[in-house]
């Protein structure tokens, strides 16, 4: 009887061990199948991957916040490029531990326009023959600087060990500082180039000349004052 009980216990242990091994084997096979399917899809793109990731856009509709009347004639646009070289350091800490060097190539633009909001009858003098006209306008001014994200990119970036780990475990770094620096540099470059303002005023003068010529004026004089 004792031999029979001992044998029964051995069978029970073998049964539990076999079930455990079968469960582990089944789990391993499932994992291998999933991994194999994803790898096979990379090798054979024409085969549909049942485990592929899809993105659903659940954004709400665009809301109109306000309307603003614009009175500026955009007469010229300067397209500029700048290379931003930023280096972040922490005092008394070696750069290989904490620090970042980034080389950012930014492409941006600045528009120059003439404000027509103050244009009225006092700004125009029409000759007695009704064929000449003189117009006085304010000087052209630079508008807002924009940086094009599609044409801008990080050329190179080196990070210390701690900064690199922070980037790995964070949800994503911000490039706001790079864009702000690039925007300021592009704006400063445009402000120091008088040819942009000159081009805007020349284009405005040409546009008004063509427009008023179609109305019968044979001589159009446009003067820009501060």
Task: Output the pLDDT for position 115.
Answer: 92
Task: Output the pLDDT for position 2.
Answer: 47
Task: Output the pLDDT for position 109.
Answer: 96
The structure tokens listed for 41 are: 């899809």
pLDDT along the chain (226 residues), means of 10: 46 50 54 50 54 72 73 92 84 63 92 90 89 94 95 82 53 74 95 95 94 91 90
């Amino acid at each position: 009887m004792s031999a029979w009980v001992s044998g029964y216990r051995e069978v029970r242990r073998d049964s539990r061990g076999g079930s455990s091994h079968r469960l582990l084997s089944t789990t391993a096979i499932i994992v291998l199948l999933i991994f194999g399917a994803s790898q096979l899809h990379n090798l054979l793109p024409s085969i549909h991957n049942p485990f592929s990731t899809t993105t659903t856009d659940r954004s709400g509709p665009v809301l109109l916040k306000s309307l603003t009347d614009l009175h500026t004639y955009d007469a010229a646009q300067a397209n500029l490029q700048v290379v931003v070289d930023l280096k972040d350091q922490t005092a008394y800490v070696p750069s290989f531990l904490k620090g970042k060097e980034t080389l950012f190539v930014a492409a941006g633009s600045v528009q120059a326009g003439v404000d027509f909001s103050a244009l009225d009858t006092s700004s125009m003098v029409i000759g007695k023959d009704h064929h000449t006209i003189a117009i006085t306008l304010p000087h052209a001014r630079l508008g807002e600087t924009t940086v094009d994200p599609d044409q801008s990119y990080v050329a190179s970036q080196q990070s210390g060990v701690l900064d690199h780990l922070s980037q790995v475990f964070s949800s994503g770094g911000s490039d706001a500082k790079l864009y702000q620096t690039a925007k300021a540099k592009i704006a400063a470059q445009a402000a120091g180039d008088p040819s942009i303002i000159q081009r805007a005023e020349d284009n405005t003068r040409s546009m008004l000349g063509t427009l008023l010529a179609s109305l019968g004026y044979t001589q159009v004089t446009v003067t820009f004052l501060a």
